[in-house]
Structure 1
C-alpha cells in the first residue's frame, strides 16, 4: 500500500499550490539584447514624433496573438535597407491591434523623404512603461488608453505595444512593456 502524501493547507484550509510558496528570489535576467528603457524618460511621458520614421508590415494573428513574428522582423529590416535607412540600436518595434492581422512598425533613421514603405506618423505619443504579465496586457492597454484620453481630451488615433523582453528575460523583468498612445497632428 502506498504511503499517503501530505498536502499543505493555507489558513483557510485550502491546498497550497507550488507557485504560492515563496521560493528563491528570481534569478537576475540573463544577458540578452532586449532594450532597457529608463522610466523617467518613458513612463507617463509625451514624446514628439515629428521627426520619427518607421517601416511597416503586418503579421498574422490568432485571436490577437501574433504569429510569424521573426519573419516579419526580417522583412522590416529588408524594407529599411531598401529605403536606404538604418535601424538604430534598440529601435522601437511597435505592434498594433487586431485579431487576425497585426500591423508592425520598426523605427528607422536616415531615410529620404518620400521613400517607399516609410511612414512618418508625426504628432505626439504618450507612453506608459508597465509590467504586463500573461493575461494582463489588455487591461494595461485599456488603462493607458483611458489615461491618455483623459489627458488629451480625446481617444488616441492609434495604440501600439512594444514588448521589451524576450522569452529568456520576461519573467525576471516582469514582462516589461511600453504602451504607446499616438495622436496625429490635427489638421
Structure 2
C-alpha cells in the first residue's frame, strides 16, 4: 500500500470510518485537481437541510483533505515542533473529556456537548498557538461542508491526533496532497 492510501485510510478510520473504503479514491481525485477535485465538493452543495441536520449521503473526507491543505504550513510547523508530545497530550486530554461525556458516534449524530475548542483555547499561546490556529483552520473548512462547530471540531481533533502520532510520515502525506 502506498503512503497516500495508507494515510487516507488512517485518517478516515479515526474520523469518518464509514468512508474508509472510499478515502484513497477521494485522495486520488483531490490530488488530481481540476474537475476531479471539484466533483468531490459538488456532491455536498446539492444536499439540503433536513429536520435533523444535513441529509445523509455526503462525504466528509474531501473536506478533511481541504482542511489539511488549507492548514498545511501550520501543520508542518506543528509536526516538526519539539512540542509534538505536548500537543498530543493536549488533544488526548480534550478528546478524553469529550468522549467520556459522549459515546463514540458518527460526527453527524453528536448532540451539543462541552466544546473541544474551549478545552484547547485555555492553553497558553506559547507553545500552543500554531496548534490552535491549525485546528481553527481545519475546523472552519469542515464547517463549510455543513458540519456543526462541535462536529467539525471533533473530526479535526481526531485527524490532527492521528497526524501527530507519526509526524514525519504525516508530513510526507501532506506534501503529496499539495502537489496539484
Q: Provide the TM-score with structure 1 as the length reference.
A: 0.27
Query: Highest Rg: 1 or 2?
Result: 1
Task: Please identify which structure carries the higher helix content.
Answer: 2
Task: Please identify which structure carries the higher strand content.
Answer: 1
Which of structures 1 and 2 has the larger relative contact order (alpha carbons within 8 angstroms, sep 6+)? 2
